Copies of this chain bind each other. A is one copy, B any other.
Amino acid sequence: MSGAVAIIEEHETVDAFHRGAFYLVQPKGRGHRTGMDAMLLASMVTGNGAIRVADLGAGAGGAGLAVAARLHEARVSLFERSPDMAGFARKTLALAENARIAGRVALFEADVTLRGAARNAAGLVDDSFDHVIMNPPFNDALDRATPDPLKRDAHAIAGDLFEDWIRTAGAILKPSGTLSLIARPHSIADIIAACGKRFGGLEMTPVHARAGENAFRILVSAVKGSRARLQLRSPLVMHATSGHAFAADVDDLNNGRAAYSRM
């Protein structure tokens, strides 16, 4: 998943994902670096044909590109507020190695918490997407403050973060469109509250590093306008009891060989 291919500037790396199906230009040693979280999030998108997918808070574009790499007709819009991170996404889309997918990926420098006309003007158009994905920044007041301003921006302090982001997801999804997100388990309350009456049919999947350990992430999907009840799915366990290798099912999700479909 990592493994630098070429250093294009001294403070940047180019990393292979999906076993070389696409590459990301990323900041080196600062900012939020793409990894397993983005790949698991991307695995939650399913659908045939030219579905429209929005990646909110796309960063360097990892999750959005992973969707475009696996679903060969999907059209992906990346939304990123930070000009710095959007710059990495722009370089990523310009890489020759990504030519096969870049034509189906559009980048918008936009704050996903915008509302109303300003939101629509920024490319976050009402009722226009089939699937919205998000890996909202974390780190809150209980976490250790980080001296890295780029990382601090990505891992924002924000009590109403899920409300702001999920409100936008609810606005830009088509009726019965799907929201998928990855977050930390202690955000369950905020996520459910923000889904409120906008979304139903929540499916939550705990992600554990190893059997017997507490979950360190949750995958959540929800359907706009649904009234179906929350389901708590069987967990994903990343590693077998010993060793650092990924379990086969998780490795497939991480490398774009399988999708994590709704029930």
Report which A residues bind B (CB closer than 8 A): 142, 185-186, 188-189, 192-193, 204, 206, 208, 211-215, 218, 229-235, 263
Contacts of A186 in B (CB 8 A): 229-231
B189 touches A231 (CB 8 A): no
Q: How far is the CA of A233 from the CA of B232 in the complex (A)?
A: 13
Copies of this chain: 2
Q: How far is the CB of A179 from chain B (nearest CB, A)?
A: 16
A214 touches B142 (CB 8 A): no
Q: How far is the CA of A218 from the CA of B233 in the complex (A)?
A: 12
B189 touches A206 (CB 8 A): no
Contacts of A234 in B (CB 8 A): 208, 211-215, 235
Q: How far is the CB of A219 from chain B (nearest CB, A)?
A: 12
Contacts of A193 in B (CB 8 A): 189, 193
Contacts of A214 in B (CB 8 A): 231-234, 263
Contacts of A206 in B (CB 8 A): 206, 232, 235
**Residue of B with least CB distance to A227:** B142
